[in-house]
Amino acid sequence: MLATIVRKEFTEMMRDGRFRSSAAITMALLLGAFALGWQHYSEVNAQHEAARKSTRQDWLHQGDKNPHSAAHYGVYAFKPKMPLSLVDHGVDPYVGVASWLEAHKQNEFRFKPAQDATAIQRLGEMTGATVLQLLIPMLIVLLTFPAFSSEREQGTLRQLLSLGVRPAQLAWGKALGIALALSVLLVPATLLGSAALALSADQGAMAASWPRAAIMALGYLAYFAFFVAISLAVSAVAPSSRFALVALLGVWIFNGLVVPKAVSDIARLLHPTPSAMEFARQIEHDIENGINGHDTTDQRAEELKQRLLKQYNVDSVEKLPVNFNGIRMQEGEEHGNDVFDKHYTALWQTFERQRQVHELAALAAPVLAVRSLSMSMAGTDFAQHAHFAKAAEEYRRVLNRKMNLEIAHHQKPDDSGFTRGEDFWATMPDFQYTAPDLAWILSRQRLSLALLAGWMVASLVAMAAAAGKMRV
């Protein structure tokens, strides 16, 4: 009997002109979003690779100069694009794509696409994630709301139940039939998306992307199952098809539009962040006056001088076996690193608390859970941006330390023309970044995964319970 119900629902859905037209439109939007994502990923990835090679060559061929000047010359670190970012851009348009690594400064990321976006683009970017999180749930609502209410209004529901069909069996049959019809839309889109993924990524990136893609797909399937089940539950208990449609559109608006915006505002209100100007001012103050506010640059330099004179048992910096300026510059770098660690750690902890607000708010709207999971699998959430930023900053510190110690151990106090050339620049290895593995990512998504599974199970239970209470 269940197979008969599934076949009947699938056949009716495929014959329904509303389904064919709306599915065609949704398919076109989804494929268009995938195509634009693939083009964007391919172009940006190629640009980043070319820029990375160029900045390395610029470093190697910067000419003969003092190592400290080379530290100021600096290098760029470009954040790699993950293949699945063609589906979900996440926070990438807002956090920048490259960091300038130079002496004395931990710079903000540069080249943020959102800064160059037009007014229309700022209203919302059409990505695969947008279609999957908003448009397909709307399609499910529009196709499913009359599933029970329309049959009740037409009198066919009484006939079905009089034949001995159990309400729960009928609900499961309708759910599976609708899911089978949706697979006609989703399976081809998935296959084409997989093809785009295979064409855009190298072999190593692909090997790491398939498990992520599978988890992302399972997350979206659970999200779609929630909308199918909750739509059938509302249709089962609604007094009319019109009421079911209005109620389900209210659920869709609340889930996809109201809650995400409200939660963003609440998160910023509960855990405010300083403005860029205030943040920079705080760092500058601590660098000049010390973290405790009573340890100025001159005081630190004098304390370092006295400590070195005592250590080497000499009475002037000219008699030191090391170059005092090189040691002083490295000491300044270490102090600056402490200041940067203090302020950036506090800033990132604030962002993490904001993320936790979003994660907990998935109790009110499953879209927040699937959005968090989608961005994390795509490698475009803030946690993975911070992971890259920390790796780039560590490279900056190693580079500056190498430059300063070269001065400290090899430049004589009276050698004002001390320089190094390409052979020395080549001893500094190119920046290489290793993205976090899947276990690291999943460890941060446990709550989102649990809430998404909980929403799916709760909606299926609600569907079965509503079917059992149907009035014919």
Q: Cα separation of 272 and 282, whole Å?
A: 16
Burial 150-161 (b: 16+ CB within 10 A, else e): ebbeeeebeeee
What are the pLDDT digits (tens) for 53-81?
999 999 999 999 999 999 999 899 998 88
What are the pLDDT digits (tens) for 355-372?
999 999 999 999 999 999
The enclosing H or E element of 99 equals: strand 98-102
Q: Is 103 exposed, middle or buried, given 0-12, 13-18 or 19+ CB atoms closer than 10 A? A: buried
What are the pLDDT digits (tens) for 380-419?
999 999 999 999 999 999 999 999 999 999 888 777 789 9
Q: Cα separation of 370 and 168, whole Å?
A: 28
What is the phi-psi region of residue 444: left when phi exceeds 0, alpha when psi lies from -120 to 50, beta otherwise? alpha
- State the chain's mean pLDDT as an integer: 87
Q: How many CB atoms lie within 10 A of CB 122?
A: 9
By DSSP bridging, strand 75-78 and strand 105-110 are unpaired
What are the pLDDT digits (tens) for 248-285?
999 999 999 999 999 999 999 999 999 888 998 999 98
- Please report, for the chain, the start and end positions of each structural domain, with discontinuous segments joined by +: 2-468
Q: Cα separation of 52 and 75, whole Å?
A: 9
Q: In the sheet that 105-110 helps form, which strands lie side by side, from edge to edge?
A: 75-78, 98-102, 105-110
Q: Is the pLDDT of residue 206 over 70?
A: no
Give me the torsion for CA of 449, 352, 34, 184, rounded to 10°: 20
Q: Minimal CA–CA distance to 308: which of 318, 320, 300, 296?
A: 320
Q: Is the pLDDT of residue 133 over 50?
A: yes
Which are the contacts of 157, defined by CB distance < 8 A and separation ≥ 6? 148, 151, 470, 472
What are the pLDDT digits (tens) for 85-99?
888 988 888 888 889
Q: Is the pLDDT of residue 122 over 50?
A: no
